[in-house]
Amino acid sequence: MEYIASIFNYRIVLNSLDAFGAGIWTTLWISAVCLVLSLILGTLLAGMRMARPGILWRPAAAYIQFIRATPLLVQIYLVYYGLPRLVGGTSILTEAVSGVIALTLHTTPYMAEIIRAGIESVDKGQREAARALALRPFQRMRLVILPQAIANVTPALLGQTAVLIKDTSLLSIIAVFELMGAGLFVMYENVAPNEGLLTTAVCYLIIYAGMLVVSTRVQSRLKGGIYRPV
Amino acid sequence: MFQEELQVIQSVAPFLLLGLWETFKISIIGLVAGSLIGGLFGTLRSLRLAGVTGGIGLYIHVFRGSPFLVQLYVFYYVFPQFGIPLLEFDSFTAAVVTLSLYTGSYVTEIVNSSILALPRGQEQAARSLGMSKLESLWHVVLPQALRMTIPPMSGVYVIIIKSTAILSVVGLTELARQGEISIHRFPGDVLLIYACVALLYFVYCYPVLRFTDWAEKRLGGVKVSLD
């Protein structure tokens, strides 16, 4: 017991509940904002990627490959240090806004690729039937194809959301006060790495467990209630 | 017109290339060590032994459920505090151990899924030929499962390369860190230098990415969600 108390002093955690609460809140809202933005932009990007004219799909493909082949950390630095210079102004963006922009730019291509796979998974007959009903191209997409496509790839989208939540931890490097930032703050404030970092790890695992539960429920629903996780 | 930029690139290039070399080395270490861990654990998990399966499942969930950055900090700052000499890592050891275990969690899942994806008849046929359980695993199941692991494994390779950038936070002088150091020398050229860093990562990752896409089409393989 004494050994455990010497490596993990729970009083420090109790004293820093405010910091952890603020951190968890920031992690969750940044994830939520990025999720919504990247789903919308990802759908548009998937449309661009699947378009016929080269002027549409080539830039989309180049963007997707660039994001997939470079580390998120470098992308965050590019947005945080580079973007203000590119538009000429000094830093008008707060860290959190830079973080949201960087994470959205990072997540959008992954979402786009998943949505594209979903659209391609919809049976050809659906498209033909929608055509036979005289729906215009946009209506075909919105009313017939996209709903089925999204349903097909919901598990993958949820998986990517879990990745997004984990990726927010990197924003602590540009001083966004999210969960990881809170953990580091508690560690430096109290000279207590164990209490700060292990608590952070446990918080992330709890969020992950929540995502697992949601994912299992959704998959079971999509498969008519017979899904059993492996 | 671009005289100045060229000069900056010329003077930081040697350092960035040195960083790329370091990134290359670490990612190969991570790939090899991670494959060994994953090959062992994945095979063990597929045997469905009591206790072992659950333990390995816990390992997978812990390493896939928390961010790599958190794992790295825990290995670097927390483990040395336990007073066990073996766990007193310096930054390089902490980085390599974390990266290997993190990679291993992916590989475990891949190897396990590949073995389970193989038709049961293969193992049953081998057993009916008089092979022991181990023999059938070694001579029949694993060689076929190995082929299926190639596409997801090259996906893991890309993940490893990108994860090594995070190792810069514990002071490993790989590519991202060399970029930061170069920026201290040329504070005015942040964008240019990070663009070069991004380009170098791209040069390393892109062939692997293309290989992954090609292998997925060519070899099929198991679908393992890499999240």
The tokens describing A150, both together, are 């999204």
Judge whether residue B227 has pLDDT over 60.
Answer: no
Write down the mean pLDDT value for chain B: 90
Give percent of chain B above pLDDT 90.
Answer: 63
Could you tell me how far CA A178 lies from the centroid of its own chain? 14
Q: Hey, what long-range contacts does B178-183 have (CB within 8 A, 24 or more apart)? A: B178/B15, B178/B16, B178/B18, B178/B19, B178/B22, B179/A74, B179/A77, B179/B16, B179/B19, B181/B15, B182/B12, B182/B15, B182/B16, B183/A81
CA dihedral A128, A132, A138, A140 (to 10 degrees): -50
C-alpha A170/C-alpha A66 separation (Å) is 19
List CB contacts (< 8 A) between B26 and chain A: none
pLDDT of residue A219: 86
* Chain A positions with Cβ closer than 8 Å to B: 7, 65-66, 68-75, 77-78, 81-82, 85-86, 155-156, 159-160, 162-163, 166-167, 169-170, 172-173, 180, 183-184, 187, 193-194, 197-198, 200-201, 204-205, 208-209, 212
Under DSSP, the state recorded for B77 is: I
Q: Do B169 and A180 touch (CB under 8 A)?
A: no
A80-84, A104-108, A154-158, B208-212: which range is least confident on average? A80-84
Judge whether residue B222 has pLDDT over 70.
Answer: no
List CB contacts (< 8 A) between B183 and chain A: 81
Stretch A123-135: mean pLDDT: 92
- Least CA distance to B159: which residue of chain A? A71
pLDDT of residue B3: 81
Stretch B44-51: mean pLDDT: 88
pLDDT tens digits for B14-35? 999 999 999 999 999 999 999 9
pLDDT of residue B221: 61
CA distance B17 to chain A (A): 16
C-alpha A183/C-alpha B203 separation (Å) is 35
pLDDT of residue B177: 92
Residue (of A188, A192, A197, A186) closest to A7 by Cα position? A192
pLDDT of residue A14: 87
Judge whether residue B224 has pLDDT over 70.
Answer: no
Which of residues B153 and B89 earns the better pLDDT score?
B153
Residue B36 CB-half CA count within 13 A: 8
Stretch B97-110: mean pLDDT: 95
Which of residues A90 and B146 earns the better pLDDT score?
B146
The tokens describing B14, both together, are 């040697």
The tokens describing B8, both together, are 């900056």
Angle at CA of residue B157, ends B208 and A37, nearest 5°: 85
Please enumerate in sequence order all residues whose Cβ is within 8 A of that of A201, keeping only pairs 6 or more positions apart, or say none: B66, B70, B71, B74
Burial class (CB within 10 angstroms; exposed 0-12, middle 13-18, buried 19+) of A228: exposed
Residues belonging to chain B: 227
Give percent of chain A above pLDDT 70.
Answer: 95
A5-9, A135-139, A180-184, B89-93: which range is least confident on average? A5-9
Under DSSP, the state recorded for A168 is: G
The tokens describing A137, both together, are 């191209």
A50, B164, B212 from B159: Cα distances, Å: 26, 9, 12
pLDDT of residue A94: 83
pLDDT of residue A89: 62
Judge whether residue A92 has pLDDT over 80.
Answer: no
SS3 B174: coil
- Least CA distance to A77: which residue of chain B? B194
Q: Do A85 and B191 touch (CB under 8 A)?
A: yes
Q: Name the band, by pLDDT with cuts 50, 70 and 90, for residue A8.
A: confident
Stretch A18-25: mean pLDDT: 94
pLDDT of residue A111: 96
SS3 B37: helix
Residue (of A68, A72, A92, A42) closest to A166 by Cα position? A72
Residue (of B215, B63, B197) closest to B152 by Cα position? B215
pLDDT of residue A179: 94
C-alpha A94/C-alpha B159 separation (Å) is 29
* Inter-axis angle of helices B190-219 and B3-46, nearest 10: 40
pLDDT tens digits for B120-147? 899 899 999 999 988 999 999 999 998 8
ipTM value of the model?
0.89
C-alpha B20/C-alpha B26 separation (Å) is 10
A11, A81, A98, B69, B78 from A183: Cα distances, Å: 15, 24, 21, 12, 12
pLDDT of residue B106: 94
Please enumerate in sequence order all residues whose Cβ is within 8 A of that of A103, keeping only pairs 6 or more positions apart, or say none: A30, A34, A38, A72, A76, A164, A167, A168, A171
* Inter-axis angle of helices A146-167 and A17-50, nearest 10: 140
Inter-chain contacts counted by CB atoms under 8 A, chains A and B: 120
Could you tell me how far CA A24 lies from the centroid of its own chain? 15
C-alpha A159/C-alpha A27 separation (Å) is 17
Residue B156: what residue type? V
Judge whether residue A65 has pLDDT over 70.
Answer: yes
pLDDT of residue B226: 53
pLDDT of residue A149: 92
